[in-house]
Structure 1
Amino acid sequence: MQSTYRTSPHACYSIAWSPFHPHRLAVAGAANFGLVGNGRLLTLSPQGIDQAFSTQDGLYDVAWNELHENQVVGGSGDGSIKLWDLTVPDYPIRNWHEHGREVFSVDWSNLQKDLFCSSSWDGSIKLFTPDRPASLLTIPAAQTCTYAALWSPHQPGVVASCASSGLLTLFDLRVPNLPSSTAPTPGPTAPATPALAVPASPGELLTLDWNKYMPHVIATSGVDKNIRIWDTRMVGQGGSVGGVCTGSLAGHQYAIRKIQWSSHRADVISSAGYDMTCRIWTTQPSSPGSSSQLYVHNAHTEFVVGCAWSFFDEDVLATCSWDQSVHIFRPPFPPPRR
């Protein structure tokens, strides 16, 4: 099983499966590899491209509204965030412009389904609801680029983020020590105390993901080419705020741009990298000394920047690349142990 969709003339930046329709995807794209020019939101079905919405700047990430099957939010290179309703042609139904630099990630909470968050190169994380014209909360997360921020799929109000400083941070929004925001702000203005802070990489940390079955497990990766697994319940040496690395996965030749845990297997994770491959790993090899790498997808011809496991079809993976294509396939690796 493999399907290929062309997104020409826009390079892909991100891909997301619909939580409502088994075969529907949203793709974020940008002209000229996102360096200059406009962007585009695409929706895909088995028949091909269903709809396309243009933006004035590159679109770097997308997420589906967990309460509305036809709504998609996207983060743009001009610092704006747009919400589209696929039944409304041409223009977004909501437009926020609070970040001072590129919005590199957006993520919709699957627990508090009226909330989504964004992260930006301006170092901040912001919380939004579609009903409000301004953000609900601003978290000054880092003094450097915040590449990604993701809601915990297990604990309401908990957000994990990663930054160019190599720091993995967790913020608990239930703790009243974060500065609120009711009006647009250009960027971070005051420090926020994280519930956990881990120096997770010696280089830029580009991506992270929560394990879908183990509430305290997070994977991180980035420029140093290694995927590291963290147990956030364990504190650092001397009781300091931090986590413990319980394993690492190495094999990519260049930086890893995106990782995602499987929707159906607790031990399987995919990684998309600048070496033009998407790799699939297990954190539980079948025997001592056996390889943790289950499969390498090397059909792309440019940077692979996105990977997403299907919510509905077990072991179906979608990848997207700067080669202006989306691949959907079922990797040939062993069936899960029951």
Structure 2
Amino acid sequence: MISPPAMFRTPGRHGYGVQFHPFSHQRIACATSQHFGIAGAGTVFVLDHTPQGLNLVRAWEWKEGLFDVTWSEANPNILVTGSGDGSLQVWDTDSPTQEPAKILQEHTKEVYGINWSLRRDAQSIVSASWDTTLKMWDVNRSQSLVTLTGHEAVVYAGIWSPFMTGCLASASGDGTLRIWDIKKPYAAAVVIPASKGEILTCDWCRYHPNLVFSGAVDGSVLGWDLRNPRQPVCHLRGHKYAVKRIKCSPFEGNILVTCSYDFTVKTWDMKDPSCAPRETIEHHTEFVYGVDFNLHVPGQIADCSWDETIKVYNPASLQAVTPVPS
């Protein structure tokens, strides 16, 4: 790394998901759980990354563990978390109270993934649950708009396409990566048997509309071209244990970052013929559950871990990245 990471400690809270703010270069949110998410409460932290370090802006408690967080792409004060009780909590950083602005409750088991659509013409949230379903929500309404069924096991992640309105990818314990069109909610448009074990995460490339990545419990990171998904277009090898999160770079189409149960964060270049990591970051002492790119500061990422820390830093391997002109 170029310099030591900025760090914020979350005593008694184990990190599950972290996301940079889409409108602010310094703000991040982190969803955490007590007792490694097995029992107890959860806390969502809102932090600002300043020259003095990571400073707490707001923190809210929830009665169950919080497993993921997503910022609104429409209102800079709104963020949403997913909980072990099957609910989604809508939080407002301007609210004077410690209560959610709204609670959305339909899932019957844990909500493990939350994602707000990047497309301004589709300001929607997708939630992924242990009840094997995905649901699409509008935070201005009390009921979900669409329920997607078809997965045969827990759904760990649902991620909207940055290119196609109403299109999303999902990762499941049934070993499949699925692509959905919410205009046809009763069956996945594409079903890819991407692993013999559970798939825990997925993400879309920001520069190639047909390229999706999956991460599995066997430590594999695979890239899939949806025009011909019979075989992966790349197989990135390096993690010893399960890959918990994949994030594709907002600045270069071939760069991505992953975090794992092997306590590491790795950066990758899918065009590297060696298929080896560009860099391995080993600054955690427990599972690393969340990782994200800063959309405003090239080469900067944040992660969170079960070791009760959130870190923001600049990996050396990402410093050659050049911002894409707007």
TM-score by length of 1: 0.90
Instruction: Answer whether contact 1:284 1:292 (CA < 8 A) is retained.
Output: no
Change (3 A) 1:291 1:138: closer
Among 76, 80, 84, the residue aligned to 1:77: 84
Q: Which one of the candidate residues 164, 167, 182 is aligned to 2:173?
A: 164
Aligned counterpart in structure 1 of residue 98 of structure 2, from 90, 100, 111: 90
Q: Is the 8 A contact 1:66 1:113 kept in 2?
A: no
Q: Once the 2 structures are TM-superposed, how far is the Cα of residue 58 of structure 1 from its aligned partner?
A: 0.1
Are residue 261 (structure 1) and residue 248 (structure 2) matched?
yes
Structure 2 residue runs of 5 or longer lacking an equivalent are: none
CA contact (8 A) 1:319 1:328 kept: yes
Question: Matched residues in 1 for 2:30 and 2:268: separation?
Answer: 24
Q: Deviations over 1:178-221 (max 9, x none)?
A: 3xxxxxxxxxxxxx311100000010000000001111000001
Task: State how far apart, in whole Å, the 2-side matches of 1:245 and 1:56 are.
Answer: 41
Contact 2:235 2:275 (C-alpha < 8 Å) held by counterparts: no
The within-5 A match list for 1:15-94 is: 15-46=18-49, 47-88=54-95, 89-94=97-102
Task: Supply the distance in 1 between the matched residues of 2:280 and 2:9 (Cα, whole angstroms).
Answer: 21
Q: Please give the alpha-carbon distance, in whole angstroms, between the structure 1 residues aligned to 2:267 and 2:90.
A: 32
> 1:186 — aligned with what?
none
The one-letter code matched in structure 1 to 2:259 is A
Query: C-alpha root-mean-square deviation of aligned residues, in Å?
Result: 1.4
Q: Deviations over 1:202-256 (max 9, x none)?
A: 10000000001111000001201110000001154xxxxxxx3101011111111
Is contact 1:77-1:102 (8 Å) kept? yes
User: Residue 173 of structure 2 contacts residue 198 of structure 2 at CA under 8 Å; is this kept in 1?
Assistant: yes
Which of 98, 112, 131 is equivalent to 1:122?
A: 131
Pairs within 5 Å for 1:204-243? 204-234=198-228, 236=230
Q: Deviations over 1:74-103 (max 9, x none)?
A: 000010111011111200011011001000
Distance in 2 (alpha carbons) for counterparts of 1:44 and 1:153: 26
Matched, 1:315 2:302: no
Deviation at 1:113, TM superposition (A): 4.4
Contact 2:158–2:171 (Cα < 8 Å) also in 1: yes
- Superposed structure 1 runs of 4+ greater than 3 Å apart: none
Does the residue aligned with 1:133 lie in a helix, a strand or coil? coil
CA–CA separation in structure 1 for the residues paired with 2:29 and 2:320 = 28
Deviations 1:99-154 (A, max 9, x none): 01000001000113421110100000101101111111111131210111011001
Number of corresponding residues: 313
Corresponding residue for residue 103 of structure 1: 111
Q: Counterparts of 1:4 and 1:113 in 2: how far apart (Å)?
A: 34
The match for 1:270 is 257
Q: Retained in 2: the 8 A contact 1:211–1:261?
A: yes
CA distance in 2, matches of 1:86, 1:151: 24
What is the alpha-carbon distance in structure 1 between the residues aligned to residue 298 and residue 275 of structure 2? 22
Identity in percent: 32
Normalised to the residue count of structure 2, the TM-score between the two structures is 0.93
Q: Secondary structure at the match of 1:43?
A: strand
Distance, in Å, in 1 between the alignment partners of 2:224 and 2:11 is 38
Q: 1:245/1:132 Cα in 2 relative to 1: closer, same or farther (>3 Å)?
A: same
- Residue matched to 1:197: 191
**1:173 Cα deviation after fit:** 1.5
Q: Distance between the aligned counterparts of 1:316 and 1:153, measured in 2?
A: 21
Offset, 1:337: 7.5
Match of 1:247 in 2: 234
Over residues 247-286 of structure 1, what are the superposed CA-to-partner deviations in whole Å (9 max), with x where a residue is unaligned?
Answer: 101111111111111111111111100110001111122x
State the secondary structure of the residue aligned to 2:278: strand
SS in structure 2 of the partner of residue 293 of structure 1: coil
Q: Which amino acid aligns with 1:229?
A: G
CA distance in 2, matches of 1:61, 1:336: 28
